[in-house]
Amino acid sequence: MTTDHALAPLELGDSVIDSEDDDPGEAIVIWRPDDGTIADWEYEMDDRTVTTAEENPDYSDDEQLVVVAFRNALDSHWPGWEEVTDEQLYEGTTERDINQYGFPEPRLEPIEPGELEAQWLDGLADRLEGAGWDVTREPTELVVTQFGETYRITAEGTVEGDGNYSTPLENLIELEQE
């Protein structure tokens, strides 16, 4: 319970991860009921009904309930979900039978959208720094400079910037993503 949401509660549309998962996936907050607690969220598991409180015994039963859907499920089952209003997320996932998961709010950690997909950039940044490049790390991109030429490298692997190092950077990215 390292995250304190008392000052900044999660909001609809926020990107989050499960802070207790060793290999978390990006999830999107789709519902945060005003008076909902983890004791209120019931679901079927192994032919029985359980609550989020029962599955999270380290948390108080009256913790704020936050319901999420995983980004990969949204992307594959609901093209265009990012264009709907935050208030339409819960209803839209329900209509499309996209799995929804209830969590105690303190268990979720906010992240930048797409941040997990950009983790490969850390290795690239280390390589470039080792080769003498100036590297500025952003959550979903790198800004790199060498001999007065600046390039932006995105999580998708694109290189923005025209100069002598554009093609070598693209080749290095190809190697890094293999």
Residues 30 and 80 in one domain: yes
Query: Is residue 118 predicted with pLDDT exceeding 90?
Result: no
pLDDT digits (tens, 9 = 90+) for 8-53: 689 999 999 999 998 899 999 999 998 899 999 999 888 999 999 9
Dihedral sign for Cα atoms in the order 42, 61, 68, 89: positive
Q: Output the pLDDT for position 4.
A: 47
The fraction of the chain above a pLDDT of 90, given in percent, is 69
For β-strands 42-45 and 149-154, DSSP reports them as unpaired
Q: Output the pLDDT for position 120.
A: 85
Residues 105 and 122 in one domain: no
Residues 100 and 157 in one domain: no
* Domain end (from 86, 111, 136): 111
Q: Which of 142, 144, 136, 139 lies closest to 157 in space, CA to CA? A: 142
Q: Is residue 49 part of a domain?
A: yes
Taking a C-beta distance cutoff of 8 angstroms, is the pair 124, 135 a contact? no
Q: Is residue 143 part of a domain?
A: yes
Residues 79 and 126 in one domain: no
pTM of the model: 0.74
Q: Calculate the average pLDDT of the chain.
A: 90
* Domain end (from 111, 128, 154): 111
Query: Is residue 5 predicted with pLDDT exceeding 70?
Result: no
Q: Output the pLDDT for position 134.
A: 95
* Alpha carbons 12 and 30: distance in angstroms, whole number: 5
Residues 141 and 64 in one domain: no
Query: Is residue 87 predicted with pLDDT exceeding 50?
Result: yes
Q: How many structural domains comprise the chain? A: 2
* Alpha carbons 37 and 53: distance in angstroms, whole number: 8
Q: Which residues are CB-neighbours of 177 under 8 A, at least 6 positions away?
A: 120, 157
| Main-chain dihedrals φ then ψ at residue 69, nearest 5 degrees | -130, 145
Query: What domain range includes position 86?
Result: 15-111
Residues 173 and 93 in one domain: no
Q: Which of 39, 16, 27 lies closest to 98 in space, CA to CA? A: 27
Residues 99 and 131 in one domain: no
* Domain end (from 56, 76, 111): 111
The band of 6, judged by pLDDT with boundaries at 50, 70 and 90, is very low
Strand order, beta sheet including 65-70: 101-104, 65-70, 27-31, 15-18, 108-111
Q: Output the pLDDT for position 116.
A: 79
